[in-house]
């Protein structure tokens, strides 16, 4: 048995990072960060805040929107788990600028600003899809998977664009609705365990299917079908001429 350098994924490490460097151009998280910071009007959230002259500073809606939408892209619809991700995941830390909103803050933001959130997320996802940043690995739910062939779809008509918008609106509504439902009874460990078990089950089934396919489709190493498959390009007449010339 070869000897390898030991490693352990279940460990904690102290590292020095720059949060901005974690948001690489061309990624979904970079697009979310840029669009929310530079392009979207977040003043629609301001009327519900009443701490202008006194009271504790509130979390900027920009921070909350970023971590919630990125969480949705990873299939996370639990305020407790979003808080945990902000404590432990480097991309969440970058998007939140190393702040950790309490899960009750996240839950209250979603339940108190549902229509505003859905409206802004719709804009972001339409833009991200146009840029080819969405595929089946992001925001995939039954009956509502995003095609990764953005170039073909976005060269079409406004009718096609409206159809895409309708699909995105249903998808966002699904995640927001599920988020609010989970927050009513959520347990962090229970939710993470369920997601892990589901992922393991899906991966195991995929592995079994592919493994069975490879066993039946690929020739074994060193036992190929070359003798049966290779045919001579020399015709009978050419063979006879070669024999005569000898």
pLDDT tens for 83-137 read 999 999 999 999 999 999 999 999 999 999 999 999 999 999 988 888 888 865 5
Two structure tokens written together for 234: 């020399």
Per the listing, tokens 């966002």 go with 172
Q: What is the DSSP string of 67-98?
A: HHHHHHHTT---HHHHHHHHHH-HHHHHHHTT
pLDDT of 15 > 90? The answer is: no
Distances (CA, A) of 83 to 9, 25, 79, 108: 21, 25, 6, 13
Distances (CA, A) of 214 to 142, 143, 211, 218, 222: 28, 29, 5, 5, 15
Where does the pLDDT of residue 141 fall: very low under 50, low under 70, confident under 90, or very high at 90 and above? Answer: very low
- What is the distance between the alpha carbons of residues 71 and 65, in angstroms, rounded to a whole number? 10
Per residue in 165-209, pLDDT (tens digit) is 888 888 888 889 989 888 887 666 676 677 778 878 878 888 888
- What is the distance between the alpha carbons of residues 97 and 105, in angstroms, rounded to a whole number? 16
Distances (CA, A) of 66 to 60, 149, 152: 10, 25, 28
Two structure tokens written together for 96: 């939140």
% of the chain beyond a pLDDT of 90: 41
- What is the distance between the alpha carbons of residues 150 and 127, in angstroms, rounded to a whole number? 11
Per residue in 27-75, pLDDT (tens digit) is 999 999 999 999 999 999 998 888 888 888 999 999 999 999 999 999 8
- What is the distance between the alpha carbons of residues 48 and 116, in angstroms, rounded to a whole number? 12
CB 69, CB 76: distance < 8 Å = no
Report field, pTM of the whole predicted structure over 0.75: no
Helix (H/G/I), strand (E/B), else coil: 233: coil
Helix (H/G/I), strand (E/B), else coil: 17: coil
Two structure tokens written together for 42: 């977040």
Per the listing, tokens 């504790």 go with 56
CB 73, CB 28: distance < 8 Å = yes
Exposed (0-12), middle (13-18) or buried (19+): which is 195, by Cβ within 10 Å?
A: middle
């Amino acid at each position: 048995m070869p000897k390898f350098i030991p490693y352990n994924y279940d460990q904690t490490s102290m590292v020095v990072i720059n949060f901005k460097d974690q948001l690489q151009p061309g990624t979904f998280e970079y697009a979310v960060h840029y669009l929310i910071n530079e392009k979207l009007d977040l003043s629609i959230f301001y009327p519900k805040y009443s701490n202008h002259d006194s009271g504790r500073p509130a979390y900027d809606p920009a921070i909350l929107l970023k971590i919630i939408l990125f969480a949705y892209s990873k299939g996370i619809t639990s305020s407790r788990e979003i808080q945990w991700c902000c404590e432990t995941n480097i991309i969440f830390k970058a998007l939140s600028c190393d702040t950790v909103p309490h899960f009750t803050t996240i839950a209250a933001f979603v339940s108190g600003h549902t229509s505003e959130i859905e409206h802004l997320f719709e804009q972001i996802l339409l833009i991200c899809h146009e840029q080819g940043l969405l595929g089946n690995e992001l925001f995939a739910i039954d009956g509502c998977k995003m095609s990764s062939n953005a170039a073909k779809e976005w060269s079409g008509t406004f009718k096609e664009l409206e159809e895409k918008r309708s699909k995105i609106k249903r998808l966002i509504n699904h995640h927001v609705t599920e988020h609010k439902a989970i927050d009513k009874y959520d347990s962090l460990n229970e939710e993470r365990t369920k997601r892990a078990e589901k992922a393991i089950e899906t991966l195991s089934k995929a592995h079994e299917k592919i493994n069975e396919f490879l066993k039946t489709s690929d020739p074994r190493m060193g036992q190929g079908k070359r003798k049966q498959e290779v045919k001579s390009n020399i015709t009978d007449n050419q063979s006879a001429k070669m024999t005569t010339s000898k």
